[in-house]
């Protein structure tokens, strides 16, 4: 009886492995290189994480390990690090304060709005983002601090490496929108169609936008007061 059970479990595991391999073989991969163009005439170098990319139009479950991953945006020298991040819906971002001063991280972006309150140096506070879309994050104490978080509705997203390259694997066949997002270039959308087992190259060019950053209000919807003397 024990032998039969062992053989049965082995057969089930083998079948699962074969089915998983077949399913993965039927998916596609999208990869390419992102270039940042300066309208003034020169290309600007990109660093890892400067651009996030995601596929729009796919209804697929997000693996729990991806949701449970540690996502951190630190406050240091009156700046957010990193200033751009992409996470899956349901993930939590921790906001540690590495400065010897008070910060107050907040957002008023739709259903993802939150207010971490005022807190001093330490591990800070976290917030779980349950709704897909773009989230603009600020500090209620320091008006110049800003960050962008995109909350993805599926697991098909990524960032660029130090060479500006990206790769998104396991994509089911179909037609989608590839969206690339950069802090100072905004976003670029490109239509892409993948067939089963295809590995497609799609390069992306982003153009820098000139001019001062758009002003924003504090968490109360009012202009910031001059707080440089206090903080």
Q: What is the pLDDT of residue 17?
A: 34
pLDDT in tens, the chain (231 residues): 555 444 444 433 333 333 333 344 589 999 999 999 887 766 667 888 899 999 999 999 999 999 999 999 999 999 999 999 999 999 999 999 999 999 999 999 999 999 999 999 999 999 999 999 999 999 999 999 999 999 999 999 999 999 999 999 999 999 999 999 999 999 999 999 999 999 999 999 999 887 666 789 999 999 998 755 445
Structure-token match 């907040």, residue found? 106
What are the domain boundaries of the chain? 28-207
Beta carbons within 10 angstroms of residue 107's beta carbon? 19
Q: Which residue has the tokens 């959308």?
A: 189
- Whole-number pLDDT of residue 48: 81
Judge if pTM exceeds 0.95.
Answer: no
Non-local CB neighbours of 218 within 8 Å, separated by 6+ positions: 138, 140, 143, 224
Query: With contact defined as beta carbons under 8 Å apart, do 3 and 11 qualify?
Result: no
CATH second-level architecture of 28-207?
A: Sandwich (2.60)
What is the distance of C-alpha 153 from the center of its chain? Answer: 11
Structure tokens at 61: 């479950």
Give the pLDDT of residue 66: 98
CA distances from 91 to 50, 56, 78, 176, 183 (A): 20, 18, 25, 24, 21
DSSP classification of residue 172 = P
In the prediction, which pLDDT does 38 show? 84
What is the predicted pLDDT for the residue at 209?
A: 84
Query: Within 13 Å of residue 124, how many CA atoms lie on the same side as its CB?
Result: 24
| Element at 15 (helix H, strand E) | helix 2-25
Helices (H) and strands (E) in the chain, counts: 2, 19
């Amino acid at each position: 009886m024990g032998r039969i059970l062992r053989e049965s479990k082995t057969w089930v595991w083998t079948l699962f492995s074969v089915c998983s391999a077949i399913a993965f073989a039927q998916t596609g991969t999208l990869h390419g290189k992102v270039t940042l163009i300066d309208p003034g005439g020169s290309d600007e170098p990109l660093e890892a994480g400067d651009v996030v990319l995601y596929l729009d139009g796919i209804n697929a479950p997000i693996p729990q390990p991806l949701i449970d991953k540690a996502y951190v945006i630190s406050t240091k020298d009156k700046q957010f690090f990193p200033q751009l991040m992409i996470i899956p819906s349901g993930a939590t971002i921790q906001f540690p304060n590495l400065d010897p001063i008070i910060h107050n991280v907040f957002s008023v972006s739709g259903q993802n709005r939150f207010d971490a309150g005022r807190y001093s140096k330490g591990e800070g506070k976290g917030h779980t983002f349950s709704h897909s879309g773009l989230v603009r994050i600020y500090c209620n104490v320091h008006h110049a601090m800003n960050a962008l978080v995109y909350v993805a509705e599926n697991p098909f997203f990524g960032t660029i490496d130090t060479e500006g390259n990206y790769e998104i694997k396991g994509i089911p066949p179909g037609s989608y929108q590839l969206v690339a997002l950069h802090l100072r270039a905004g976003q670029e959308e490109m239509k892409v169609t993948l067939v089963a087992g295809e590995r497609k190259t799609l390069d992306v060019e982003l153009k820098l936008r000139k001019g001062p950053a758009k002003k924003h209000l504090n968490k109360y919807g009012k202009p910031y007061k001059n707080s440089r003397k206090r903080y």
